[in-house]
């Protein structure tokens, strides 16, 4: 199970999440997003970059509410909402956005 | 046959929409029967890494047959209930139409008696005289690799909700058989990824999410800020406070997911208003105990002992569990056996106590009060989570696990309506995601399993204009957020019970939240 990108083979698990997080790059994010039927725009990138920075610091993705709060500051009140996040990532921001950001799948009763 | 609803029992309300959007659907109707239609449902198996962290073989062992039969022998001798369940079924059929997965999928193997028989047939072959000598006459069969695969598939189509056991004249509990089957599967190296990866994270990091202490601290500080913005009060989310009176153990979804977080904010407001001394713990930062789902006493015990250890280290007097269904089943029914005795706690309080018991007691004593009008936008119903309804109790009277959450909701809002009688309280239909099935790779099964509840909820919308449903289980909340849009409900139509508490509680000295921005 692997993604092919520019002649490189990048392994993923059975659900499409990267097995080696360090192999992520922006080109790959576009491929991952396409697999999810998502065309990356500035707002998707805003979310993906926030997730990656947060993960760097805390080794886990942020709670949706923490993400929404951060987006409110950068994208404004209307777009900084859970509902708007679902329009960006219809399968659910936690799992779908993490996959595109190259982070592990959040686990638990979520 | 599915029970029919007596129309006279249904509550009619003047606010009912003039033109029903959907016709009345019997929630307990069986889908058309299609043998084997769910045989391909096979959730991802655990990797060697996930298996070994739990003390199980990484992959299917060479001597899987003998090892499985030995384990079965071990289990039927250790758990008398299991042996009785396997020996006593008379095939009366009372359970046949009672499983939400049976109703939703139409696969006859999702009838409880058929599910049990996948296991019982092997038990008979190896552990009964008739089965040893004349297997064909008594429905006994050899354990083959195909049978093992069939077990894997269909014992991961049971949410261990015990609805079938309510109707069984012998009280046979398919949940226990399902747990035993999963334990045998783990023992031979064929575990499930979803459960086992999560249990590994609890052992390693302390919670299902794998949320490290640093992230937990930052998240809780963030929530404290939100609470201060909303109320103008310094409502604390204390962590690792030695000498606190109360240790709150809550599902880690309460730190991460919606609507779970609103429940957590509700607990914090209740503790604040009551002036309670409380704390959470970074090491026992999870109420859930998936050890039960996989039937592993050892894993269940290890997970439970973290809570005891944290309580001892922090020197608390009481342990309170947050809104988590199966955590409460483990806590209420087994915690003392697994990690007791809790003689170091204050014996004047129940060990452990449910957050709903705690809040209801404060309501009864008039210590916390509500402005119900704050919840006027909600026309609410309550989903009884299976593990609370049929796996545990609450309060001091039989059936209090049904009444206390309802009493809290009725204290916090003006518009409360129950769903149809044969889908609530002890007859509640499962959310469809319990028992270790809340995983994306089982989404088809989850949607089908949720259909009885979603039909009952849709009927409540038609009858009484119900807009929202509250629950006290992290799994139920996540599952409904996923399946509700399929029935024209918004994803935020599922609520935490303590979210309603949070909205309506009158906090001494608070600013009016209506004048503040909110997340809507």
All structural domains of chain B, each given as residue ranges with its CATH number in brackets, are: 57-190 (1.10.1060), 199-515 (no CATH)
Contacts of A95 in chain B (CB under 8 A): 440
CA distance B422 to B427: 6
At B33 the pLDDT is 97
Query: Domain with A42 in it: what CATH number?
Result: 1.10.10.370
Quickly state the pLDDT bin for B21 (edges 50, 70, 90).
low
In a domain, A80, yes or no: yes
The pLDDT value given to residue A81? 87
B463-508 pLDDT, tens digit each = 999 999 999 999 999 999 999 999 999 999 999 999 999 999 999 9
The number of residues in chain A equals 110
Contact between residue B495 and residue B259 where contact means Cβ atoms under 8 Å apart: yes
Mean pLDDT of successive 10-residue stretches along chain A, which has 110 residues? 90 94 95 95 95 96 93 87 90 92 94
- What is the residue range of A46's domain? 2-100
Q: Alpha-carbon distance B259 to B494, whole Å?
A: 7
Confidence of residue B450 (pLDDT cuts 50, 70, 90): very high
Q: What is the pLDDT of residue B155?
A: 98
**CB–CB of B246/B320 below 8 Å?**
yes
- B212 part of contact set with chain A, CB < 8 Å: yes
Chain-wide mean pLDDT for chain B?
94
CB contact under 8 A, B207 and A68: no
Of A60, A95, A107, which is closest to B197 when you measure between CB atoms? A107
Q: Residue B97 pLDDT > 80, yes or no?
A: yes
Given a contact cutoff of 8 angstroms between Cβ atoms, the answer to whether B186 and B194 are in contact is no
Per-residue burial over B98-123, b = 16 or more CB atoms within 10 Å of its CB, e = otherwise:
bbbbbbbbbbbbbbbbbbbbbbbbbb
**How far apart are alpha carbons B430 and B418 in whole angstroms?**
16
- Chain pair A-B, CB pairs under 8 angstroms: 89
pTM for this one?
0.94
SS3 B123: helix
Q: Which residue, among B478, B479, B424, B486, has the nearest Cα to B456 in the 3D structure?
A: B424
Tell me if A55 is assigned to some domain. yes
Number of folded domains that form chain A: 1
Asked if residue A107 is part of any domain, the answer here is: no
Residue B252 has its nearest CB partner, among A77, A92, A108, at A108
Q: Is residue A106 part of a domain?
A: no
Percentage of chain B modeled with pLDDT above 70: 94
Chain A contact present for B219, CB below 8 A: yes
pLDDT tier, B408 (very low <50, low <70, confident <90, very high otherwise): very high
Instruction: For residue B330, name the pLDDT band (cuts at 50, 70, 90).
Output: very high
Read off the pLDDT of residues B147-173 as tens digits, 9 standing for 90 and up.
999 999 999 999 999 999 999 999 999
Decide if pLDDT at B249 tops 50: yes
**pLDDT at residue B513, rounded to an integer:** 56
User: Mutation test of the interface with chain A: which of B256, B385, B494, choosing the one with the most A Cβ atoms within 10 A?
Assistant: B256
Residue in B193, B209, B261 closest to A65 by CB: B261
User: Does residue B14 carry a pLDDT above 70?
Assistant: no
- The minimum CA-CA distance between B379 and chain A, rounded to whole Å, is 21
Measure the CA–CA gap between B13 and B216, rounded to whole angstroms.
45
Q: Which of B255, B491, B519 sits opposite A86 (nearest CB)?
A: B491
Could you tell me if residue A110 is inside a domain?
A: no
Establish if B370 touches chain A: CB-CB under 8 angstroms. Answer: no
Is A109 assigned a catalytic role?
yes
Give per-residue pLDDT as tens, B370-386.
999 999 999 999 999 99
Q: What is the pLDDT of residue B19?
A: 56
Task: Specify the pLDDT at position B6.
Answer: 38
Rg value, chain B, Cα: 23
Spell out which residues of chain A touch residue B207, defining contact as CB-CB under 8 Å.
108
Residue-level pLDDT at B11: 40
Is A52 inside any structural domain?
yes
Candidates B247, B394, B228; CA nearest to B325 is: B394
Residue A79: the pLDDT is: 84
Residue A105 lies in a domain: no
Q: What is the pLDDT of residue A74?
A: 87
Set of chain A residues whose Cβ sits within 8 Å of the Cβ of B257:
63-64, 94, 109-110
Q: What is the pLDDT of residues A25-41, one digit of tens each?
A: 999 999 999 999 999 99
Residue B4 has pLDDT above 80, yes or no: no
Which residue of A lies nearest to B475 if distances are taken between CA atoms?
A109
| Greatest distance between any 2 Cα atoms in chain B | 78
Say if B53 is an interface residue toward chain A (CB within 8 Å).
Answer: no
The answer to whether residue A60 sits within a structural domain is yes
pLDDT at B515: 59
Q: Supply the pLDDT for residue B519.
A: 47
pLDDT at residue B186, as a whole number: 98
Best of B159, B282, B386, B519 to disrupt the A interface (most A CBs within 10 Å) is B519
Please indicate whether, in this complex, the C-beta atoms of A107 and B209 are within 8 angstroms of each other. yes
Average pLDDT over residues B269-294: 97
Burial B438-465 (b: 16+ CB within 10 A, else e): bbebbeebbbbbbbbbbbbbbbbbbbbe
């Amino acid at each position: 199970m692997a993604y092919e990108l520019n002649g490189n083979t990048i392994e993923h698990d059975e659900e499409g999440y990267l097995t080696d997080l360090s192999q992520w790059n922006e080109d790959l994010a576009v491929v991952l997003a396409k697999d999810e039927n998502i065309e990356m725009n500035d707002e998707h990138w805003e979310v993906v970059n926030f997730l990656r920075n947060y993960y760097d610091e805390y080794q886990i993705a942020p709670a949706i509410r923490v993400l929404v709060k951060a987006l409110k500051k950068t994208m404004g009140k209307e777009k900084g909402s859970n509902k708007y996040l679902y329009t960006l990532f219809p399968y659910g921001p936690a799992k779908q956005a993490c996959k595109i950001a190259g982070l592990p799948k959040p686990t638990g009763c979520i | 046959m599915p029970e029919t609803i007596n129309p006279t029992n249904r509550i009619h309300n003047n606010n009912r929409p003039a033109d029903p959007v959907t016709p009345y659907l019997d929630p307990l109707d069986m889908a058309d029967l299609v043998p084997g239609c769910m045989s391909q449902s096979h959730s991802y198996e655990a990797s060697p890494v996930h298996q070994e962290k739990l003390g199980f073989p990484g992959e299917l062992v060479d001597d899987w047959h003998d090892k499985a039969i030995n384990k079965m022998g071990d289990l039927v001798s250790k758990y008398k209930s299991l042996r009785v369940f396997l020996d006593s079924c008379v095939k009366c059929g009372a359970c046949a139409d009672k499983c939400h997965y049976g109703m939703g999928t139409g696969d006859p193997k999702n009838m409880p008696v058929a599910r049990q028989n996948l296991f019982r047939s092997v038990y008979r072959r190896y552990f009964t005289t008739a089965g040893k000598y004349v297997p064909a006459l008594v429905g006994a069969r050899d354990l083959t690799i195909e049978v093992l695969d069939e077990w894997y598939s269909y014992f991961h189509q049971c949410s261990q909700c015990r609805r079938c056991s309510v109707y069984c004249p012998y009280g046979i509990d398919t949940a226990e058989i399902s747990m035993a089957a999963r334990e045998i599967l783990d023992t031979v190296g064929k575990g499930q990824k979803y459960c086992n990866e999560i249990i590994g994270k609890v052992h390693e990091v302390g919670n299902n999410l794998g949320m490290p202490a640093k992230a937990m601290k930052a998240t809780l500080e963030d929530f404290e800020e939100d609470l201060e913005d909303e109320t103008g009060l310094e409502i604390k989310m204390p962590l690792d406070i030695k000498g606190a009176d109360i240790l709150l153990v809550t599902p880690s979804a309460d730190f991460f997911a919606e609507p779970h977080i609103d429940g957590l904010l509700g607990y914090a407001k209740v503790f604040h208003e009551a002036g309670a001394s409380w704390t959470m713990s970074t090491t026992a930062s999870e109420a859930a105990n998936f050890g039960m789902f996989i039937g592993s006493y050892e894993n269940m015990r290890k997970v439970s002992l973290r809570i005891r250890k944290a309580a001892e280290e922090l020197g608390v007097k009481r342990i309170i569990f947050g809104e988590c269904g199966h955590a409460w089943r483990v806590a209420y029914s087994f915690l003392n056996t697994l990690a007791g005795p809790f003689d170091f706690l204050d014996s004047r309080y129940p060990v452990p106590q449910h957050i709903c018991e705690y809040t209801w007691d404060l309501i009864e004593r008039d210590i916390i009060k509500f402005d119900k009008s704050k919840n006027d936008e909600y026309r609410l119903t309550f989903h009884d989570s299976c593990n609370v309804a049929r796996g545990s109790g609450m309060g001091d009277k039989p059936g209090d696990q049904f009444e206390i959450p309802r009493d809290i909701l009725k204290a916090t809002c003006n518009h409360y309506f129950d769903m149809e009688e044969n889908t609530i309280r002890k007859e509640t239909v499962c959310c469809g995601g319990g028992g270790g099935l809340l995983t994306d790779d089982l989404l088809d099964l989850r949607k089908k399993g949720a259909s009885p509840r979603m039909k009952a909820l849709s009927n409540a919308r038609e009858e009484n204009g119900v807009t929202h449903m509250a629950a006290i289980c992290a799994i139920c909340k996540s599952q409904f957020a996923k399946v509700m849009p399929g029935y024209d409900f918004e994803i935020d139509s599922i609520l935490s019970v303590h979210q309603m508490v949070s909205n309506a509680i009158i906090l001494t000295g608070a600013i009016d939240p209506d004048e503040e921005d909110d997340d809507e």
